[in-house]
A and B are shown apart, each in its own frame.
Chain A
């Protein structure tokens, strides 16, 4: 096996491990929302994970600044909400969860994900 082949194997393995670590082992930063929370939609959702209280109404304000078409809709399937997010316009969604647990939300094509934790 030549040196360049060994190098390609090493860099390939490093690349694979890096991809695994970078995309799939990231720590989710949770933001506690009291009454209201702003989520910026650009290349994903920031914050990505919000925790909200059970039985109380929380306003989630989405502001999309990313022109990617995929992000133009947000879907909170468990709360039966699908909303258009016009570019640079704040869209408020109100939810009053009656059950605790983790509820995922995503873009219309299910490629960008976020999470609502109800406590």
Chain B
């Protein structure tokens, strides 16, 4: 769509479709909102109407807003709460009137079976309706679930009790005392619904992180259009819009400052706690808060492309992914419910044939206990809830985890390899020393001039440092010809018609340039200070040295220390020579150094360490170190900008804080511990309590599980799993 006439053409075409009552086309967002009669109009009719006039359309279903969904959920919870209260109240009355030891104190009316039947019926068919509503369609699909078990269990107890109430003589004739079990059916329904109520409340907490992220989004933007400032919904902001942001306001979308200075609090998106100073040319992130100044900026990313949207998408995807540990649960859960039904039938048969008298009652009550105690929900919830809370906590702290598998692998990491430039260091090197060599006739300024003229065309971070230095010194640069970069060595070219090579020792050896002892001493001295020394030769003769140093990140030393405390080996990898590399490694406390590694060899070095039998994490920048990050068991990318999605890492640290490497590993350990604990409880619970409900302890200790206690255990099992996952929220970086 290009102009207002497209809008009119489309509106006209869509309105012509029979059944369409209203149509509004928005040029800025390229969307059409169509009100139509679904009986007369199919989605395809609308797509064809758009296609007929030469455009292409996709259908976007109008989903209920978050608020509407929340209101509906709250309504559902309220209904559930009422059902819980009613069934537990009625159940308690029945229990009072029928439970041995209690019934003596109950009014006669409550001991009347017909009254109990009247009290139990609404619980069974109103409060318990949801169990039938889930069971009947499931049976049509030949599947069974939790609700099937509850429906069968309570129906058996209720039907038997109703039969006893209506036709007591029939039961008496077969030698069974006519006693109903309405307390069992009602209390089970009440307790299971109560469990479900708490579980629903707790589950809301597991997806809180994503809701918080979505809630960060600004609603409107103050955009300059036709020299006027207008407030428009954020969905209508387009790339290139100029937006004004005042102190205290939320920055609506990602962009670049074109006027003004300010300090911006980015903690909500990146987890970085210190506000960042911003000036013209700097990038700002949507949903962060402008603290001090007013500025104008140009929108560079809108809608799904903003950093926040990408983070939300990444977290959502991670929360939906499956951890390898869950495979076994998946397998078991597909067979679980039918197996429980079969076990319940076997329980009935065994108790009826071999059990004590009254055999029928024992058989029935134990069968109901087996059906009620089985809890597949706890197994189903064990892993995903922990993954959801774990990845959510990561995102809140600026640690984005790509998927559940990465979260699971991270706790096994034994070695962490840090790339030096841009990861341990800030990646913004500065020229620290310039040495001119005696007898060449060049001054320090001239050495800088030749180097900067040559480096002007290079994209290397060291080149930038030299060009900046020349600018600071006010040196006018010459034109360089025949420029060529030699990866891992340096550069060559012609300046003022003289051939110049500029790079490391390897380049000098390659070019057969002799490096005298005195110069060698200078080089060693500078390298021992952790500086990268570049040697310049003109027509095969040494001209000068330029030393460049990069500043270590504030978090580097602590980040390395935190890993060492965990017993993790820390390695530094760099293209620098061994002396410089060692000097820097010493500053941060790294003992194992892989120096003089060419960019394309980093991947091989990662694999070599993996062959030592170690689980390796590589920390680097997501773009240049992508192959090495991919080769590592876990690639940890340092966030470099607002393009979170293109980073190649399994984990991306948007907070750029090296201490987060240890935090990510810790988060993985805690999440895995939670998952294992959840699975232990969920499996252990079912494996131990189902045989108890079947009566396995009866021959030895005369212990049987009352179906009411079975429902207490069942209701608490899911809640305990979800609550245990929620404990992960206490995680602190």
A89-B63, A111-B333 in contact; A12/B349 too (CB < 8 A)? yes
Q: What residue of chain A has the Cβ atom nearest to residue B340's Cβ?
A: A19
The answer on a CB contact under 8 Å between A8 and B349 is yes
Is residue B619 within 8 Å, beta carbon to beta carbon, of the partner chain?
no
CB-CB < 8 A to B142: which residues of A? 22-23, 26
Q: Which of A9, A75, A76, A80 contacts B318 (CB 8 A)?
A: A80
CA distance A106 to B320 in the complex (A): 11
Is residue B57 within 8 Å, beta carbon to beta carbon, of the partner chain?
no
The answer on a CB contact under 8 Å between A68 and B147 is yes
CB-CB < 8 A to B141: which residues of A? 43-46, 48
Is residue B472 within 8 Å, beta carbon to beta carbon, of the partner chain?
no
The answer on a CB contact under 8 Å between B381 and A109 is yes
Q: What residue of chain A has the Cβ atom nearest to residue B381's Cβ?
A: A109
CA distance A111 to B380 in the complex (A): 7
Shortest C-beta distance, B722 to chain A (Å), equals 11
A43-B139, A86-B69, A110-B333 in contact; A91/B147 too (CB < 8 A)? no
The answer on a CB contact under 8 Å between A82 and B196 is no
> Most chain-A Cβ atoms within 10 A of its Cβ — which of B76, B341, B381?
B341
The answer on a CB contact under 8 Å between A89 and B64 is yes
Stretch at the interface among B128-136, B257-265, B538-546: B128-136
CA distance A66 to B200 in the complex (A): 17
Q: Scan residues 77-93 of chain A and give those whose CB is less than 8 A from a CB of chain B.
A: 77-82, 84, 86-87, 89-92
Q: What residue of chain A has the Cβ atom nearest to residue B314's Cβ?
A: A80
Shortest C-beta distance, A87 to chain B (Å), equals 8
Shortest C-beta distance, A113 to chain B (Å), equals 6
CB-CB < 8 A to B346: which residues of A? 12, 16
Q: What residue of chain B has the Cβ atom nearest to residue A78's Cβ?
A: B322
> Most chain-A Cβ atoms within 10 A of its Cβ — which of B335, B342, B348?
B342
The answer on a CB contact under 8 Å between A5 and B337 is no
Q: Which of A12, A43, A109 contacts B140 (CB 8 A)?
A: A43
CB-CB < 8 A to B97: which residues of A? none
The answer on a CB contact under 8 Å between A110 and B320 is no
Is residue B144 within 8 Å, beta carbon to beta carbon, of the partner chain?
yes
A23-B337, A46-B141 in contact; A111/B342 too (CB < 8 A)? no
CA distance A12 to B349 in the complex (A): 6
Q: Which of A1, A15, A19, A110 contacts B353 (CB 8 A)?
A: A1
Shortest C-beta distance, A67 to chain B (Å), equals 6
A19-B345, A23-B143 in contact; A42/B137 too (CB < 8 A)? yes
The answer on a CB contact under 8 Å between A24 and B338 is yes
Q: Interface size (B, Cβ < 8 Å)?
A: 56
CA distance A45 to B136 in the complex (A): 14
Contact flags (1/0) for A4-30 with B, using CB distance below 8 Å? 010011001101100110111010000
Is residue B379 within 8 Å, beta carbon to beta carbon, of the partner chain?
yes
CA distance A89 to B363 in the complex (A): 45
Is residue A102 within 8 Å, beta carbon to beta carbon, of the partner chain?
no
Q: Which of B134, B146, B345, B381 contacts A66 (CB 8 A)?
A: B134
A8-B349, A111-B376 in contact; A70/B403 too (CB < 8 A)? no
CA distance A70 to B142 in the complex (A): 17
The answer on a CB contact under 8 Å between A81 and B61 is no
Q: What residue of chain B has the Cβ atom nearest to residue A90's Cβ?
A: B61
CB-CB < 8 A to B334: which residues of A? 113
CA distance A67 to B145 in the complex (A): 14
Is residue B329 within 8 Å, beta carbon to beta carbon, of the partner chain?
yes
The answer on a CB contact under 8 Å between A77 and B345 is no
Q: What residue of chain B has the Cβ atom nearest to residue A92's Cβ?
A: B61
The answer on a CB contact under 8 Å between A69 and B61 is no
Is residue A54 within 8 Å, beta carbon to beta carbon, of the partner chain?
no
> Most chain-A Cβ atoms within 10 A of its Cβ — which of B63, B142, B200?
B142
Q: Scan residues 279-323 of chain B and give those whose CB is less than 8 A from a CB of chain A.
A: 316-322
CA distance A90 to B733 in the complex (A): 40
CB-CB < 8 A to A91: which residues of B? 61, 63
CB-CB < 8 A to B130: which residues of A? 67-68
CB-CB < 8 A to A76: which residues of B? 320
The answer on a CB contact under 8 Å between B342 and A70 is no
CA distance A42 to B143 in the complex (A): 11
CA distance A84 to B317 in the complex (A): 13
Is residue B103 within 8 Å, beta carbon to beta carbon, of the partner chain?
no
CA distance A22 to B341 in the complex (A): 12
Shortest C-beta distance, A21 to chain B (Å), equals 10
Shortest C-beta distance, A108 to chain B (Å), equals 7
CA distance A13 to B326 in the complex (A): 33
Shortest C-beta distance, B173 to chain A (Å), equals 13
Contact flags (1/0) for B177-220 with A, using CB distance below 8 Å? 00000000000000000001000100000000000000000000
The answer on a CB contact under 8 Å between A43 and B353 is no
CA distance A44 to B145 in the complex (A): 10
The answer on a CB contact under 8 Å between A8 and B352 is yes
The answer on a CB contact under 8 Å between A109 and B64 is no
The answer on a CB contact under 8 Å between A77 and B322 is yes
CA distance A46 to B136 in the complex (A): 15
Contact flags (1/0) for A41-73 with B, using CB distance below 8 Å? 011111010000000000000000011111000
Is residue B72 within 8 Å, beta carbon to beta carbon, of the partner chain?
yes
Shortest C-beta distance, A20 to chain B (Å), equals 7
The answer on a CB contact under 8 Å between B136 and A80 is no
CB-CB < 8 A to B147: which residues of A? 68, 70
A23-B338, A43-B134, A109-B380 in contact; A12/B348 too (CB < 8 A)? yes
The answer on a CB contact under 8 Å between A19 and B342 is yes
CA distance A16 to B200 in the complex (A): 34
The answer on a CB contact under 8 Å between A112 and B345 is no
CA distance A46 to B59 in the complex (A): 23
CB-CB < 8 A to B59: which residues of A? 92
Is residue B330 within 8 Å, beta carbon to beta carbon, of the partner chain?
yes
Q: Which of A19, A70, A86, A108 contacts B145 (CB 8 A)?
A: A70
Is residue B138 within 8 Å, beta carbon to beta carbon, of the partner chain?
yes
Shortest C-beta distance, B385 to chain A (Å), equals 10
A77-B321, A110-B330 in contact; A43/B403 too (CB < 8 A)? no
Which residues of A are at the interface with B, using a C-beta cutoff of 8 A?
1, 5, 8-9, 12-13, 15-16, 19-20, 22-24, 26, 42-46, 48, 66-70, 75-82, 84, 86-87, 89-92, 104, 106, 108-113
**What are 24 contact pairs spanning A and B, CB under 8 A?**
A5-B353, A16-B345, A19-B342, A20-B342, A23-B143, A43-B139, A44-B137, A66-B137, A68-B133, A69-B196, A69-B200, A76-B320, A77-B320, A80-B318, A87-B72, A89-B61, A91-B61, A108-B384, A109-B376, A109-B380, A110-B380, A111-B333, A111-B376, A113-B143
6 A-B pairs closest in CB distance: A43-B137, A82-B320, A44-B141, A77-B322, A12-B349, A110-B380
For the A-B complex with A46-B141, A80-B320, A90-B61 known, give 9 more contacts whose Cβ atoms are closer than 8 Å.
Answer: A13-B349, A19-B338, A44-B143, A80-B317, A81-B320, A87-B72, A104-B330, A113-B143, A113-B334
